[in-house]
Amino acid sequence: MFDIKKIKTRVIYVDPASIVSQYTFVSVKKTPFKSRVAVRGVIERFVYGKRWEDTEYYKRRIKGSYGETPGRKATDKYLAHKDEMFKRMKANGFGDGETMIGVRIVDGEVCFCHDGQHRLAFSQILKFKKIPVKVYEL
């Protein structure tokens, strides 16, 4: 395994709508970014107005499917933080306080790869024109 902190990176600015694929550090192929359960949950919550509890994402999180602490209390706290993040980004844009989204460039395409799936989905929903991303160069 590799140490992500030792991978060479650089920062670029991109239109978040242009990031439509993911290529994680363990993937061997590109897949649609919107196929991620968390991203579908964000879309259901912030585009269609569903309660978190009515999303597949919530149901998986309470079971501990992502390696986090399972249970409703931990999940509710985590998703309340995401609600606040969305409100903050809606009011202030993708500010300096936001951690950059990790991407890789695969076949000339900027692909999501690490850290920031919620921020990327929020940026897409809010139709931001440009956001900073950290390119991981392997």
Strands of 60-125 (E only): list them.
101-106, 109-114
Q: Which amino acid is at 40?
A: R
The structural domain count of the chain equals 1
Give the pLDDT confidence of 36-72 residue by residue, as tens digits. Answer: 999 999 999 999 999 999 999 999 999 887 767 778 9
Q: How many CB atoms lie within 10 A of CB 36?
A: 18
**26 near 1, Cβ under 8 Å?**
no
CA atoms within 13 A on the CB side of 73: 0
Q: pLDDT tens across 11-42, in order?
A: 899 999 999 998 866 666 788 999 999 999 99
| pLDDT at residue number 1 | 45
Give tens-digit pLDDT for 66-125: 767 778 998 999 999 999 999 999 999 987 666 789 898 888 889 998 789 999 999 999
Structural domain that includes position 53: 4-137
pLDDT for 27 equals 62
Lowest-pLDDT range of 1-5, 6-10, 71-75, 129-133? 1-5
| Residue 2 confidence (pLDDT) above 60 | no
Name the β-bridge partners of 8: 137
